[in-house]
Structure formats: structure tokens, C-alpha cells
Amino acid sequence: MSEQTVTASSSGTFKIGGDLSVNRLGYGTMQLTGPGIWGDPKDPDEAVRVLQKAIDLGVNFIDTADVYGPYVANEFVKKALHPYPDDLVIATKVGFTRQGPDRWIPVGRPEYLRQQVEMNLRTLGVDRIDLLQLHRIDPKVPLADQIGELALMKMEGKIHHIGLSQVSVGELQAANEITPIVSVQNLYNLAKRDSELILNYCEKHQIGFIPWFPLATGALAKEGGPLDQIAKKYDAKPAQIALAWLLKRSPVILPIPGTSSVAHVKENIAAAGIKLSDEDFQALSAAV
């Protein structure tokens, strides 16, 4: 398998919200920050190169968030890619606050969500956010107040589509009664599949499913394990097979593997060229 000839277009396409066509294999910006997702990365120039290489290799879906840094990831996206390609879809998120490295507290008060949408617009250098996701539902604030404020900003033309993150089917249904929800971003990977129920719901209703932490493989990748064996069969790395498994699992899955290394972004995108057989897919699925 030649990494140089494989681009993200080999992963197939999906229309977010029915109108934003993206190559299914995207890129997530969380690792373009310092330790604990706080502050600047060790190599800012490499962060710029990573983003530019991802675009060069056909990625046209980037997932970021105001709290990555905070704002550090957004600023790298703008520095590396602005003015943006016409086909680039940028998704971002609001709803968390940061109190330091590795500290995350949800705040869903409407005035805070509005402030953070405005800050995303400014730091990304856009007039409208393609996909704005509520990073977490704040249990202290009525859902109608949180989703309602985002829906209002959508009416104002500042948001195109709205998504949710780390939610249940019931929460998705409740939010969808307030305004159309076009995507769900939940923890999901080959080794951890607690979100199967909502993934199946998303597939049935053509809602994009963005798995975060997509490369986690756990003990499956150990020497001689099922993932290791299948990776050798495809002359690939375990992480590439984990991505290929996600792409085959459902046509609504949009993996966004992140990295701070150009070499790794090339490896990840090369996974779009791996087409797992049904037998190998089932073997991996059954291994967990």
C-alpha cells in the first residue's frame, strides 16, 4: 500500500445536514496544543505543516473546539489554511470551560454559549460556522435554553448546522424537537463501543456520527493479537486498521484522527485506502 497515492477521498463521502459534502476521513485538532490540551504545542511550525498536509491529502472536514488550548487549535487552523478552500467544512464546539490543563467543566448558560460562538467566529476568521456542536449538555441548564440559543444563532446566520457531543438517543431526540440535529460526536472506537445504540440511530436517520478517540485499540494491538495479525495481512499499522474498521462499520461514521506529526497524518489518511474484507471486519468486531 503506497501512502503517497492514497487521499482522504478514498474514504468515501457523506453529506452533513444533507448539503455539506465531505470526505469521510477528516482531521481533529485537539493534539495541536500543549500537554493537557493547554497552551501552545512544542513545535508550532509542525502544527501548521500538519494542517496543510491534511488538506493536501484530500481532507476537507476539520473538527476543532474553542477549548483546545483554549483557542490555540482554532488559531492554527486560521494561520495554516485561511483563506479557506471552498470545499473545506470546519466543525467546532462550545459548552466547556477550562480551569487549567486536563480540566473541563460544562457550562451551558445561553449567554456563555453565545459568547463562545462569537469567539469561534473570530478566532477561525469566518462569518458562519459550518457545524457548531454542543460539546456537552450542561445538566444545570434546561436543554431548551442551550439548544434554543444555538438555534437562535442559526436563524441569525452565524451557524449553519447544529450537532451534539457525548449524548444518548433520548437526548438527541429531545434536542431534535427543538432544532434539527445533523451530527453526534461520541466516544467510539474498535475497543470501546458503548455508543452502538446511538450509532445505529444515526445511521437510520442519516445523522453524521463523529467518533472521538478513534484510534484507541487497547490490548487488541499487542504482538500476535487479532489487530496485529490483520494489520500484517494488509501491510498496515494497527491504527490504520482501526480506522479502516470504523469506515466499514457505518457509512455515517466520520473519523477525525488527530496528530501533531506530519508523518502520522500521512499514515492516518493512508488508512482510507484499506478495504477490509467482511471476514476480517467480523473477526475484529468479535475480538472485543
Q: Point out the residues that are catalytic.
A: 68
CA distance 109 to 143: 10
